[in-house]
Chain A
Amino acid sequence: MSEHVRDDELLQISDLRIGFGAKPGEASPIVHGLSLSIGRGRILGLVGESGSGKSLTCRAVMRLLPDGGHVLSGSVIFDGRDILAMSKSEVLAFRSSEIGMVFQDPFSSLNPTRRIGSQMIEAIRNALNLSKEDAERRAVSLLEEVELPNPAAKLRMYPHELSGGMRQRVMLAIAMAARPSLLIADEPTTALDTTTQAQILELLRRIRDVDGTSILLVSHDFGVIAEMCDDVAVMYGGFIVESGPVEEVYLRPKHPYTKALIASVPTLAVPERGYRRPTIPGPPLGTTPYASGCPFAPRCALARPECEDVSMTLLPVASAHTSACPFGGE
């Protein structure tokens, strides 16, 4: 990926390293020099297994790393400004107005002891300088936008009175309150039923189409990615191992990890009796510490001694399609 900041990119992450430890100096790296960019009005998918660093990357962009997490180096340029260089108060203002975020678990991201209305009004007034009455009117219209029926009544309800899908709609409404130009959606549908998932995805797509919002969509499910994204970046062990237009990467994967991940996706096709869908062999992520070279090498069927020295630089495969495997996945 290019080192230069391009004008048409809304978010540009360069060489981001994130580590965990008591102090930044003692932190052991989890995300190793990640670079990616999202164009205006584009949907970028970040796909990979638990522990690959997807959520940490999102949280670093929001400056919301959990305790012990440190950005060790790199830059996150959003609309020309480096988020990592902002002061605390700048970040606060920025978070509520420029980037919206929805998380996986709509059950734990709302305060169970407060009504939907008061939580929404608080969030809206944080983001926009509105009177209480105006904020309430705005809350109703936002709930209409996310297609929650009977929004005025919903404002008086507590989170436990809503279903998982409804809560996720409320979270989306809050995230979209200030019309941010970027929405970060971290596994927004993983906890939901399939039909509810389809509705929430449809809603995300409409947010992009109507408002031109760029979306960073994190998922471990290639089905969701193929449904939604323009581009995809595949993460493994804190590295992006492959990236490009979603159809390119899905139909012509080059990195052995991408290939294995796609092959293991369950489909509706009923196989012959005795058939076993391919899985990814070897020790799962996070059970062995990372040393050097390609992090996937211990599980790769095509691994060779040179894999220990691979620099994990993304190399061009086709236009805009890059892979970190210098052996072309062969």
Chain B
Amino acid sequence: MSDNSPVLSVSGLTKIYRHRGFHLPGRPRPADLVAVNDVSFDLGEGEIIGIAGESGSGKSTTVKCVARLIEADAGEVVLGGVNLMSLRGSALRAARKSLQVVFQDPYSSLNPRLQIGAAITEAGVAHGIEGARDPRFVAELLDKVRLPASYAARLPRDLSGGQRQRVAIARALAPNPQIVIADEAVSALDVSVQTEIVNLFLDLRDLTGVSVIFVSHQLPVLSALADRLLVMKSGRIVESGDTQKVLRAPEHEYTRALLAAYPDPDRALSRRGFRTGGAGDE
């Protein structure tokens, strides 16, 4: 966390999916969908922000608008003094160097016929990183995500889901970004592997000072990771604040509902009348 000026400043971000084309005659025209509604937040240097919410809450659309993978209808995204929304072509590509995205599905985000080393090199070359073709470049990135250098010669199919997600993170780190956006990056993984990836993000932040926006529908994943939480519902941020504060004393009804729905093993067993000793819960 940093007291300095934010690395990234999002204000008034809005995305509307307008209803186009055919609708039945005589019926009212279907309403437009406001996927992201006036979302504003700052991201500090070395800060990890968690965005929580359910399917359709607008959390993925928000971060995709921030990365300009989707065009927003209104709002500003200021990175290093520049409004990303106004950039085009090579200037936008250059700005993307500082802002990288990791997606949910480690099975579809890697080219199945490209060796891991080549996939990482490709990410470096695409951003014009000097020395990206050097095997040492690949080895260093693999080391950052705790994979042995020998993995460079493997294909995605030889890797487990967690290992593939590490490779996706290594690719994101290739241009040495200031910000990594992780969009449900652990949702497809086993619980125990989720924890590994969460720990990896924490280590990377401590090591490199990278800022992270981590989108997840699982509050427990964010509890150990995020410094600050934004809870989204129907395109709006309904609650935000220090992770500890939001989880311990949620103010919004929706946050409370999310917390109550999570199957915590200790809570479940004590509700069923077993003595749990309370470890882990509270």
Contact = CB atoms under 8 A, between A and B. Distances in A.
Nearest to A221: B191
Nearest to B272: A247
A227 B276 contact: no
A284 B263 contact: no
* Dominant SS among interface residues on chain A: loop
Interface string B193-228: 111101100110010000000000111110110000
B269 A251 contact: yes
A270 B220 CA distance: 9
B282 interface: yes
B264 interface: yes
Contact of A270 (B196, B217, B218, B244): B244
A270 B224 contact: yes
B269 A226 contact: yes
A299 to B, nearest CB: 10
Contacts of B261: 194-195, 197-198
A266 B54 contact: no
B247 A280 contact: no
Contacts of A227: 263, 265, 268
A279 B191 contact: no
Interface string B225-249: 0000000000000000001100110
Contact size class for B? 35 or more
Interface in A196-222: 196-198, 201, 220-222
Contact of B190 (A49, A194, A197, A268): A49
B277 interface: yes
Interface stretch (B5-13, B34-42, B134-142, B157-165): B157-165
B262 interface: yes
Contact of B263 (A201, A262, A269): A201
Contacts of B258: 194-195
Contacts of A278: 195
A268 B282 CA distance: 8
B257 interface: yes
B191 A247 contact: no
B198 A266 contact: yes
A268 B223 contact: yes
B224 A271 contact: yes
A125 B214 CA distance: 47
Point out which of B161, B192, B221, B261 has the most chain A C-beta atoms below 10 A from its C-beta: B192
A84 B177 CA distance: 56
Given A261-B192, A279-B196, A268 B269 contact: no
A268 B219 contact: yes
Given A268-B220, A270-B248, A194 B265 contact: no
Contact of B257 (A195, A225, A287): A195
Given A195-B257, A279-B195, A250 B265 contact: yes
A286 to B, nearest CB: 6
Contact of A225 (B206, B224, B265): B265
A287 B160 contact: yes
A250 B218 contact: no
A140 interface: no
B277 A268 contact: no
A276 B199 contact: yes
Point out which of B161, B163, B190, B206 has the most chain A C-beta atoms below 10 A from its C-beta: B190
Given A251-B269, A266-B218, A197 B199 contact: no
A298 interface: no
Contacts of B95: none
A52 to B, nearest CB: 9
Given A195-B54, A266-B224, A246 B269 contact: yes
Contacts of B196: 279
A129 interface: no
A270 B202 contact: no
A269 B281 contact: yes
A284 B163 contact: yes
Nearest to B53: A193
A330 B223 CA distance: 31
A270 B218 CA distance: 14
A244 B55 CA distance: 35
B123 interface: no
Given A220-B190, A220-B191, A279-B195, A269 B280 contact: yes
A270 B195 contact: no
A194 B217 contact: yes
Contacts of B190: 49-50, 220
A260 B192 contact: yes
Contacts of A270: 223-224, 243-244, 247-248
Top 8 A-B residue pairs of the complex, sorted by shortest distance between their CB atoms: A223-B263, A266-B220, A226-B265, A227-B268, A198-B261, A264-B192, A193-B54, A247-B274
Given A50-B190, A260-B192, A270-B248, 10 more contacts: A49-B193, A194-B262, A223-B265, A226-B265, A261-B192, A264-B191, A267-B220, A268-B281, A270-B223, A284-B193
20 contacts: A50-B161, A163-B55, A194-B217, A195-B258, A198-B263, A225-B265, A227-B265, A250-B269, A251-B269, A261-B192, A266-B194, A266-B195, A266-B198, A266-B220, A267-B280, A276-B199, A276-B202, A276-B203, A284-B162, A286-B160
Interface of A: 49-51, 163-164, 193-198, 201, 220-227, 246-247, 250-251, 260-262, 264-271, 274-280, 284-287
